[in-house]
Amino acid sequence: MKMIRYSMIILLALAIPVMLPAQEPTAPVPEAAPAEPSTSFSPEEILEAWGWYLAQQIDLAGLALDESEISALSVGMLAASRGEQPKVDLEKIAPFVQDYLTARSESILAEKSTVGKSAEAAYFAELESNSDIIKLASGLCYEVIEAGSGAYPSPEDVVVVHYTGKLLDGSVFDSSVPRGEPSSFQLNQVIPGWTQGLQKISVGGTIKLYIPADLAYGDAGRPGIPPASTLIFDIELLEVKAAIPPAASAPGMP
């Protein structure tokens, strides 16, 4: 989770450029078409938008503050906006602020992980009743939609695929399909669920992977993927290429 850096955010906010009037043209220019009526905003709307921007930049929502905590935060911001000096020594309180934010982040992460693991357990229990789905000892579940008729990939190979990744609620967090071109990954450089699952089909095949969090991004998650998230992938294996030399390989999404 992002740490709050007030000085950086204030400088960033103050750096919003002010539009200066353009110089007069030195030669006549063709008359421009009538401009669309500009949308106007009240000072209150502008300041509210600025406040939203500042809170979004410091990931205030990520701290899940309640009303009383937001009120306390507002008191400090109001005092600073009036040019008042802080009531405490900032150098002395800084370590306590850091400890508070760290503890808060860890607590929220733990709560989200608990929710994710509970949802995962219930979901995989349901999958066990589906005879088309195979479960490996690692916990990975998969369903072969089309086995394919070409080469099978090894962990060192590069796979060329089209894929769509979803969370348990059905929301798509990543997909190669809208981009209009497949993606390439070295199979031993992606999440373990992919490494294990894609070896179950050959070129031309399609597979559905049900990947538990510990074979994906674990308790940490990543942007767009909450902690302890089960991931569901629909993958079409288009091509298998020779392994990339170690010096040229690089981790990639997913």
- What residues are annotated to the active site? 163, 173-174, 191, 217, 233
Task: Show the CA angle centred on residue 178, arms to residues 173 and 184, nearest 5°.
Answer: 80
- Write the CA distances from 83 to 49, 62, 77, 86, 151, integer angstroms: 22, 28, 10, 9, 69
Looking at the DSSP bridge assignments, the partners of residue 128 are none
Instruction: Mention every residue, 6+ apart, whose C-beta is less than 8 A from residue 235.
Output: 161, 162, 163, 194, 197, 198, 206, 207, 208, 209
Task: Tell me the two tokens of residue 2.
Answer: 């992002």
Task: Tell me the two tokens of residue 237.
Answer: 């294996």
Q: Kind of pairing, strands 158-166 and 183-186? A: antiparallel
Identify which of 110, 9, 95 has the alpha carbon closest to the alpha carbon of residue 60: 9
Q: Which residues in 103-244 belong to E strands, given as ranges?
A: 134-135, 141-146, 158-166, 172-175, 183-186, 206-211, 231-241
Pair 103, 120: CB distance under 8 Å: no
Can you tell me the distance from the alpha carbon of 65 to that of 88, in angstroms, rounded to the nearest whole number?
22
